[in-house]
Structure 1
Amino acid sequence: MITSTLLIPVCNESAYRAWICDNVFRCIIMDNRPTSRVNQQFRACDLTTNMLVDILAEIPSDTESAASDTGSESGETDEELQLLLPDESVVEFEEDLNEGVCAESDSVHILSNATTKFSQEYGSNISSNKSSSTEIFGCLFGDDLLDHLVYQTTLYATQKLGGSTVFKPTDINEMKKFLAINLLMSIKKYPSYRDYWSTDPVLHESYISDLMPRNRFSWLLGHIHANDNSQQSKKGEKGFDKLFKIRPLLDYLSKRYTESYKPTEHLAVDESMIRFKGRSSLKQHMPQKPIKHGYKVWVLANETGYVSKFQLYTGKIGQEVEKCIGARVVKHLSSELTGKHHKLYFDNYFTSVPLMLDLKKQGIYACGTVRKGRVGFPKDFENEKNMSRGEFQFRCSGQGIMALIWKDRKQIQFLSNFHNIENMNTAFRKSKDSSCTEILCPDIVKDYNTYMGLVDKSDMVKSLYEIDRKSKKWWHRIFWHFLDVTVVNSCIIYNEHCDNDQKTLKQFRLPVVASLVVAISSSTPNRKRSQI
């Protein structure tokens, strides 16, 4: 009976490089004899390049091997130790796609993935003629969307007030002014929006109060709308959409975000939260997130923090519980990346073996952490208690999927469909006595730590100046959130267009506010209550 032994490198780079030895020495397959002989002669930490050359020199050729099979003096040829070269059969776990299970076989495989180099154009897809912050913001949040908001706001006011109350319809100039005031309020923050119009000279903000009367601002805040309520299907009817009230805005921005920016080589899929503490069936509770209550948004983010695609989570549809939701979300968000050899990173909520296989077939490289006990993940790894910091173990499949566990403070599991185990880095960790220790760190760990935080990067930039507008209407928080995301995306594109004029988010936000204000009509706003 043939058993398999997979070597675990010791925790220093020189020993590991000796273990690799230019990718020639792969693994040891031995028979059922005690392992002491192998451990004494072929431990990875004791190998040097010269020793490996001597070992390989003793490997018989095909003709010599055949002769020894027939003319062995001892008759014990089957018990001789054999070394496998890279192109031979090795330990692998084979995926059964119908059941999603990885089965351990009787051979060992060291993954040597050959990835296609990323050669796509990436970055801004907006004409270089549009170089001002106003023009770039207008490409993502255009006048056609503003016209839609104006029409739906007036329609909603008509439906709500009927013919009993006379009101002043809004127009595109007033809508721009309204949005400009909200963007400015995210920089100049007061406890209540009414404080900007306060009669107390300490609180009074003349710039905002001169743009629009307080009562008119309140009226727009209460009547702004994005869809026709009379067209909404009732719950249980065909075509019912939980996001109906905000659907036109989401569809519009999703399309503009995708068209305006070509994805970078490395991208990340992760959850983002929109703060909301009111009553809504869409609200989620995520105790591990900085924002614990609110709406969950799946986000595809680039290396620059640009949000290319997003999808709001609406919860369970009907009475059926959706299975493999993580895989569905990743496939939806990465649908535009097919065949372009992007590298996609996601956490253990999404990662599974079947997903890695599907993405590899579509020409998308992917890497992610994986939860313990996930179906298909090998279960024969060494116990965590027997591993030291910096040690790792791995298994590889014939389809090019690598499963790896790496010990830091605790054991971490990874899956990848493009990483090579030969590529190695080091990391520094502090000991209890404050001394720094250098440990081995596989490329898969380094890349994951580098690129997994792209969605968090986008959230961090947005949080610097975001519209924190409380409302009883559940969809208002979503509206203001994506207005902020649009400003962040526009700022990223602007900085790519203008290398010599880099702007912070605040420096970019102020010209956008100024341009929206300048666009208003020269007529003086009417302050009479009867027309509000």
Structure 2
Amino acid sequence: MFDAIPYIGKITEVRTPADYVKKLVESVKGSWRNVTYDNWFTSVPLADDLLKDYQLTSIGTLRKNKREIPPSFLPNKSKQPLTSQFAFDQQKTLVSFTPRKNKSVLLLSTMHYNDEINPETSKPVIIQDYNSTKGAVDTFDKMMHSYSSARGTRRWPLRYFYGMIDQAGINSMVLYVDAKHSNAPINQFRSSYLKSLALQLAEPHMKRRLTTNLPRELRCTLHDILNMTEGPPADEPPAKLQKQLRCAMCPRKRDKKVKTSCVKCQVPACSEHRRDICLNCI
């Protein structure tokens, strides 16, 4: 994902489909990439603007009500199946492909300027390039829903944050796979990649928590996650007190005096609130 526009409800200003396309391609302006869109966005003025002002080519299907389409390019019963018509205008190419009788598919491209047809499928190369690059948004959404960090919430800022996390996870995986030239199946690799990414992001925080006073169960869990072994302390403090003190965890009315303390925090503790363990279990 290069860019996105979040939906935040109904807007007062009037925006055309071309406005959304121009806003989204700002991040790739001047890169001479190709933009693929469907018939809700495709128009001749937009294709001209992307090529001239943004240095981007485009491919898109055209609706049959566009005034720029010649009448002969529209569906006609006299057209034979698997036939194509081409029209060229400066740097644009219009193609009308007839997959079956009384049916036509119209595409506009500024990436192609020829009438090349695949002899095996009898389809124009423009249609094949469109089919190979369309559906990226749907694929991206499907990948996000397959492994999502989102949780049920009515707070829209939190839901927005969940979406950013999911999008960043996919983008970072694509960059990582491209850098490593990995041949692993993307669906199988993504699960292990997200687990590794989450662990690496949380690792500094877990190590910082180990430097504080934590319950033994939580400390052991963190050591297991980080694959760390906690050995006995180098200088173990004495467990015996110089004089009797009141147990810190017993009620004051009991006034229970002890001469033993916790090995780590040295808080006076009686036998009811203290456990004796060996050095291997510390």
TM range (shorter): 0.5 to 0.7
Offset of residue 453 of structure 1: 2.2
Which residue of structure 2 lines up, in the alignment, with residue 94 of structure 1? none
What do residues 339-370 of structure 1 show as CA deviations (whole Å, max 9, x unaligned)? 33222111111100100111121321111001
What do residues 38-63 of structure 1 show as CA deviations (whole Å, max 9, x unaligned)? xxxxxxxxxxxxxxxxxxxxxxxxxx
Q: Which has the higher contact order (CA 8 A, sep 6+)?
A: 1
Instruction: Letter of the 2:58 partner, please give it.
Output: A
Tell me the number of residue pairs that the alignment of Structure 1 and Structure 2 aligns: 206
Distance 1:525 1:352, change over 3 A: farther
**The one of 298, 308, 333 aligned to 2:2:** 308
What's the secondary structure of 2:123's corresponding residue? Answer: strand
**The one of 369, 374, 381 aligned to 2:61:** 369
Check if 1:464 corresponds to 2:156. Answer: no
CA contact (8 A) 1:342 1:364 kept: yes
**Runs of 5+ unmatched residues, structure 1:** 1-306, 428-438, 528-532
Offset of residue 473 of structure 1: 1.7
Which residue of structure 2 lines up, in the alignment, with residue 100 of structure 1? none
Offset of residue 412 of structure 1: 1.2
Q: How does 1:37-76 map to 2 (within 5 A)?
A: none
Q: How does 1:21-40 map to 2 (within 5 A)?
A: none
Separation (CA, whole Å) in 1 of partners of 2:127 and 2:94: 12
**The one of 15, 28, 33 aligned to 1:337:** 28
Which residue of structure 2 lines up, in the alignment, with residue 414 of structure 1? 107
Distance 1:426 1:312, change over 3 A: farther
Separation (CA, whole Å) in 1 of partners of 2:161 and 2:27: 25
Offset of residue 500 of structure 1: 5.7
Instruction: Letter of the 2:11 partner, please give it.
Output: I
Q: How does 1:9-158 map to 2 (within 5 A)?
A: none
Distance 1:341 1:524, change over 3 A: same
Q: Which has the larger radius of gyration?
A: 2
Which residue of structure 2 lines up, in the alignment, with residue 389 of structure 1? 81
**The one of 201, 220, 224 aligned to 1:516:** 201
Separation (CA, whole Å) in 1 of partners of 2:115 and 2:183: 42
Check if 1:354 corresponds to 2:25. Answer: no
Distance 1:512 1:448, change over 3 A: same
Structure with greater strand percent: 1
What do residues 317-340 of structure 1 show as CA deviations (whole Å, max 9, x unaligned)? 32x5x24x2211111222233333
What's the secondary structure of 2:48's corresponding residue? Answer: helix
What do residues 252-271 of structure 1 show as CA deviations (whole Å, max 9, x unaligned)? xxxxxxxxxxxxxxxxxxxx
Q: How does 1:196-211 map to 2 (within 5 A)?
A: none
Which residue of structure 2 lines up, in the alignment, with residue 507 of structure 1? 192
CA contact (8 A) 2:84 2:95 kept: yes
Distance 1:313 1:375, change over 3 A: farther
Q: How does 1:258-277 map to 2 (within 5 A)?
A: none
What's the secondary structure of 1:385's corresponding residue? Answer: coil
What do residues 498-523 of structure 1 show as CA deviations (whole Å, max 9, x unaligned)? 23685711111111222233222223
TM, length-normalised to structure 1: 0.36
Instruction: Letter of the 2:196 partner, please give it.
Output: P
Q: How does 1:268-307 map to 2 (within 5 A)?
A: 307=1
Separation (CA, whole Å) in 2 of partners of 1:426 and 1:476: 52
CA contact (8 A) 1:326 1:349 kept: yes
Distance 1:466 1:384, change over 3 A: farther
What do residues 16-42 of structure 1 show as CA deviations (whole Å, max 9, x unaligned)? xxxxxxxxxxxxxxxxxxxxxxxxxxx
Instruction: Letter of the 1:350 partner, please give it.
Output: F
CA contact (8 A) 2:94 2:108 kept: yes
Offset of residue 407 of structure 1: 1.5
CA contact (8 A) 2:91 2:110 kept: yes
Instruction: Letter of the 2:71 partner, please give it.
Output: K
Separation (CA, whole Å) in 2 of partners of 1:524 and 1:413: 69
What's the secondary structure of 1:472's corresponding residue? Answer: coil
What's the secondary structure of 1:441's corresponding residue? Answer: coil
Q: Deviating runs (4+, > 6 A) in structure 1?
A: none
CA contact (8 A) 1:390 1:440 kept: yes
Check if 1:424 corresponds to 2:117. Answer: yes
Separation (CA, whole Å) in 1 of partners of 2:96 and 2:8: 34
Which residue of structure 1 lines up, in the alignment, with residue 167 of structure 2? 485
Instruction: Letter of the 2:5 partner, please give it.
Output: Q
What do residues 467-486 of structure 1 show as CA deviations (whole Å, max 9, x unaligned)? 34111223332221221111
Separation (CA, whole Å) in 1 of partners of 2:153 and 2:141: 21
Check if 1:317 corresponds to 2:11. Answer: yes
**Identity rate of aligned residues, in percent?**
27
Instruction: Letter of the 2:91 partner, please give it.
Output: G
Separation (CA, whole Å) in 2 of partners of 1:377 and 1:330: 22
What do residues 72-112 of structure 1 show as CA deviations (whole Å, max 9, x unaligned)? xxxxxxxxxxxxxxxxxxxxxxxxxxxxxxxxxxxxxxxxx
TM, length-normalised to structure 2: 0.65
Instruction: Letter of the 1:308 partner, please give it.
Output: F
Distance 1:477 1:443, change over 3 A: same
Distance 1:455 1:518, change over 3 A: same
Separation (CA, whole Å) in 1 of partners of 2:197 and 2:30: 37
Which residue of structure 2 lines up, in the alignment, with residue 451 of structure 1? 133
Which residue of structure 1 lines up, in the alignment, with residue 234 of structure 2? none
